[in-house]
């Protein structure tokens, strides 16, 4: 993707406006996550299936316990630094390293046919043993193999615009083609799924439409990739 946005991104960090809130806490057993927002049962099922199916990749946290009736998942605690925290200092060598590592993780997951569905720095943990990936509740909601690459790019540009200049490092590492028109189509499909799973009348719907309009404007102003 290009190094700079045509307009400043409208937000500078994550807020609950996406509409899909969960109750997450650390316990003696591990990290407990209760799916309390809209489409909770659907998101719970996707996360449990992904944690089980892709455990062999070494990237998801280990599933310790689950309860369908409580929409609860417990995973083993992973000690590490969240990627979003690293991007708060985008000029650091750690930030560029995160971009490179994220691209390599994505390339690795792609070889196993994995589409995370919410692949962004906020869902990456940098540990002494490497990068781990958390929050798998959107895995399988959309199976387009290019989704995770464009979603990562979108998350950085929209929520962490000060780090957008580092994205070429990510694209070189992930092996995907950063075609802007392809990115627009993939992101709009993903936004449509988010809107469909929001509660009727939720303010989050307008928030996702704002993201959609931002993407439409951004990609309309971009020419062919070189």
Examine residue 2 and state whether it is found in any structural domain, yes or no: no
Examine residue 201 and state whether it is found in any structural domain, yes or no: yes
Please report which confidence band the pLDDT of residue 13 belongs to, taking 50, 70 and 90 as the band edges: very low
The DSSP element (H or E) to which 130 belongs, if any, is strand 130-133
User: Is 70 exceeded by the pLDDT of residue 40?
Assistant: yes
Comparing 89 with 161, which gets the higher pLDDT?
A: 161
**Pair of tokens at residue 214:** 């931002």
Examine residue 159 and state whether it is found in any structural domain, yes or no: yes
Examine residue 38 and state whether it is found in any structural domain, yes or no: yes
Enclosing domain of residue 32: 16-220
Give the Cβ contact number of residue 226 at 10 Å. 4
Examine residue 175 and state whether it is found in any structural domain, yes or no: yes
pTM as predicted:
0.88
What is the pLDDT averaged over residues 193-222?
86
Give the Cβ contact number of residue 222 at 10 Å. 16
Examine residue 8 and state whether it is found in any structural domain, yes or no: no
Examine residue 95 and state whether it is found in any structural domain, yes or no: yes
> Number of structural domains, the chain?
1
Does residue 197 contact residue 39 with C-beta atoms inside 8 Å? yes
The tens digit of pLDDT for each residue in 77-136 reads 999 999 999 998 877 789 999 999 999 999 999 999 999 999 999 999 999 999 999 999
CATH of residue 136's domain is 1.10.510.10
Examine residue 20 and state whether it is found in any structural domain, yes or no: yes
């Amino acid at each position: 993707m290009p190094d700079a946005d045509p307009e400043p991104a409208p937000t500078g960090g994550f807020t609950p406006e996406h509409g899909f809130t969960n109750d997450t806490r650390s316990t003696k057993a591990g990290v407990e996550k209760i799916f309390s927002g809209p489409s909770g049962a659907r998101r719970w099922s996707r996360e449990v299936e992904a944690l089980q199916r892709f455990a062999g990749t070494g990237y998801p946290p280990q599933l310790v316990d689950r309860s369908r009736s409580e929409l609860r998942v417990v995973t083993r605690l992973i000690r590490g630094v969240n990627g979003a925290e690293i991007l708060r200092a985008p000029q650091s060598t750690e930030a560029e390293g995160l971009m490179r590592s994220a691209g390599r993780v994505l390339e690795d997951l792609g070889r196993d046919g994995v589409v995370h569905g919410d692949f962004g720095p906020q869902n990456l943990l940098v540990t002494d043993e490497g990068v781990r990936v958390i929050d798998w509740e959107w895995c399988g909601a959309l199976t387009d193999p290019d989704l995770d690459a464009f979603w990562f790019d979108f998350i950085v540009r929209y929520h962490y615009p000060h780090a957008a200049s580092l994205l070429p490092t990510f694209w070189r590492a992930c092996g995907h083609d950063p075609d802007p028109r392809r990115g627009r189509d993939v992101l709009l499909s993903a936004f449509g799924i988010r809107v469909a799973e929001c509660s009727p009348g939720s303010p989050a719907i307008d928030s996702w439409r704002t993201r959609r309009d931002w993407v439409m404007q951004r990609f309309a102003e971009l020419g062919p990739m070189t």
